Structure 1
Amino acid sequence: MIVVVVVVVAVVVVVMTAVVVVVMVLVVVVVVVVMVEVVMVVVVVFVVVIVMIVVVVVVVSWLL
């Protein structure tokens, strides 16, 4: 009976540990993906702003 209890406890501990590890890995992956998305959006916005500024400067200089 004691052996059964020990085995059950060990299995529960192993399963809980595996679940915690999986959850931590998922959280890390989600954080990395979100950071990459944010960086991509920032880069795109930066490029668009620069292109708009260049276009405005070119148009103004051409008109003048």
Structure 2
Amino acid sequence: MSISEFFSKVEVYVSISGSRCSSRRSSSAVVDVVILKVLIIVVLEVEVVVEVVVVVVVVVVVVVVVVVEVVVVVVVVVVVVVVVVVVVVVVVVAVVVEVVVVEVAEVVVVVM
């Protein structure tokens, strides 16, 4: 049911009940309808504000989650690259030391 349908039903009810009552009571019913309309409009405005706040909170949470995931991926990539570089350096140093030791041993054997 739309808001205008609801208001028209309330007005019909008030006009029917107002015709059965004194004029003072009927004017009170009209004031009640105006107050009811204002309250419904306020509730609808609050609902819109709440929806906007919920959307903003959801967007912020999604952005934070995405940023955290990106940071985690970057950290993992950096750690993997550092480990690979360290392994390569250790292997190169080991090969160089082995070659140097073999060359020095050959020179020592030749000299002796």
For the aligned pair, the TM-score class normalised by the smaller chain equals 0.7 to 0.9
Give the aligned residue type for 2:103: M
The alignment status of 1:36 with 2:82, answered yes or no, reads no
Deviation at 1:55, TM superposition (A): 1.5
Task: Let me know the Cα RMSD of the aligned residues.
Answer: 0.9
State TM-score, norm by structure 1. Answer: 0.87
Task: Choose 1 or 2 for highest CA Rg.
Answer: 2
* Cα offsets for 1:16-56 (capped at 9, x unmatched): 00000000111111111111111001100000001101111
Structure 2, unpaired ranges of 5+? 1-51
Structure 1 residue ranges, 4+ long, deviating more than 4 angstroms after superposition: none
Q: Count how many residue pairs are aligned between Structure 1 and Structure 2.
A: 61
Give the aligned residue type for 1:19: V
Deviation at 1:60, TM superposition (A): 2.6
Which residue pairs with 2:65 in the alignment?
Answer: 14
Question: 1:46 & 1:32 partners in 2: Cα distance?
Answer: 21
Select which of 35, 55, 58 maps to 1:4.
55
Give the aligned residue type for 2:99: V
Question: 2:72 & 2:82 partners in 1: Cα distance?
Answer: 15
Please give the secondary structure, in 2, of the residue aligned with 1:26: helix
State TM-score, norm by structure 2. Answer: 0.52
Structure 1, unpaired ranges of 5+? none
Q: Percent identity?
A: 67
